Amino acid sequence: MLNIQNLSAKVDKKSILNGLSLNIKPGEVHAIMGPNGSGKSTLANILSGKKGYDISGKINYENNDLFNLAIEERAHKGLFLAFQYPLEIPGVNTSNFLKTSLNAIRKSKGQKRT
């Protein structure tokens, strides 16, 4: 389902990930562990499409080249990043935010708004 091949990532020429490969099949649960600064968050950020990394390698997700998908398209396909420190968007309450998010995802699947 998720196949990472030889993924390397740099920020400002500083190498963070160096040739990571990983294959995750449907139904499996994986936990990635490591000391501070080992690149766990970087991996999650790259998977979800955060900008600012110099990336090489390949990631295939459900038969899509992940790098061809926009951030929101990845989200529509089920990639979900739990934020360590979620932001507050001033004036937008949680229920409104959840509803807007749900509706955006439903729209992408051709379902009706709730």
Partner 1 sequence: MREKELEKIKEYKYGFSTDIETIKAPKGLNEEVIKFISKIKKEPKWLLDWRLKAYERLKILKEPNWQKPKYPKINYQDLYYYSAPKSFKEKPKNLDELDPKLLETYKKLGIPLQEQKRLNNIAVDAVFDSVSVATTFKEKLTEKGIIFCSISEAIQKHPDLVKKYLGSVIPITDHYFATLNSAVFTDGSFVYVPKNVRCPMELSTYFRINASDTGQFERTLIIADKGSYVSYLEGCTAPMRDENQLHAANVELVALDDAEIKYSTVQNWYPGDKDGKGGIYNFVTKRGLCKGKNSKISWTQVETGSAITWKYPSCILMGDNSIGEFYSIAITNNHQKADTGTKMTHLGKNTKSKIISKGISAGFADNTYRGLVDIGRNAINSRNYTQCDSLLIGNKCGAHTVPYIRNKNSLANVEHEATTSKISDEQLFYCNQRGLNQEEAVSLIVNGFCKEVLQQLPMEFAVEAQKLVGISLEGSVG
DSSP secondary structure, 31-88, as one string: -----TTSSHHHHHHHHHT-SS-EEEEEEEETTEEGGGS-HHHHHHTT-----SSPPP
Residues of this chain, 84-103, that bind partner 1 according to CB under 8 A: 86-87, 89-92, 97, 100-101
Q: Kindly state the smallest distance separating residue 90's Cβ from partner 1, in Å.
A: 6
Q: Which one, 38 or 100, has the nearer CB to partner 1?
A: 100
Other C-beta atoms closer than 10 Å to the C-beta of 9 total 21
Q: Specify burial of residue 77 (Cβ count, 10 A radius: 0-12, 13-18, 19+).
A: middle
- Tell me if 49 contacts partner 1 by CB under 8 A: yes
- Tell me if 50 contacts partner 1 by CB under 8 A: yes
- Tell me if 11 contacts partner 1 by CB under 8 A: no
Residues forming the site for partner 1 (CB under 8 A): 48-51, 70-72, 75-76, 80-81, 83, 86-87, 89-92, 97, 100-101, 104-105, 108
